[in-house]
Amino acid sequence: MRVMLPSTKYRSEGVRLAPRPATLRGKVVGFLDGWGTRNEDGSFGMYPLMAALKDILRERCGTVDALWMKKPSMSKPATKEQMAELLAHTDVVVNGEAA
């Protein structure tokens, strides 16, 4: 797996970004969260900005479901198992919060 920023450097090397769907209507969106938020019971929940984005995508774009995963650390990549689950069960993935 190779993680890339969408810059012209990679395009000039012949690397293409993954195809984007024409619409999100009827799609399942995966959220790969490096932060999360600590719940009262000690478990982790979705980072608030991602939770808001999930709702906006459902309301405005017609997404039908979402799969949320918390990475082991915001400074480390997702595990191979997490990536496999995201690829198997989602149509698009939001990675990071831009907070």
Per-residue pLDDT averaged across 62-80, rounded?
90
pLDDT greater at residue 69 or residue 11? 69
19-54 pLDDT, tens digit per residue, is 889 999 999 999 998 888 888 998 888 888 889 999
pLDDT in the model for residue 89: 97
Question: Whose CA is closest to 68, among 35, 26, 98?
Answer: 35
* Token code pair at residue 49: 């900005």
| Pairing outcome for strands 44-45 and 37-38 | antiparallel
Centre a 10 Å sphere on the Cβ of residue 47 and count the other Cβ atoms it contains: 21
pLDDT in the model for residue 4: 53
> Domain coordinates of the chain in residue numbers?
35-99
* Token code pair at residue 27: 């799609």
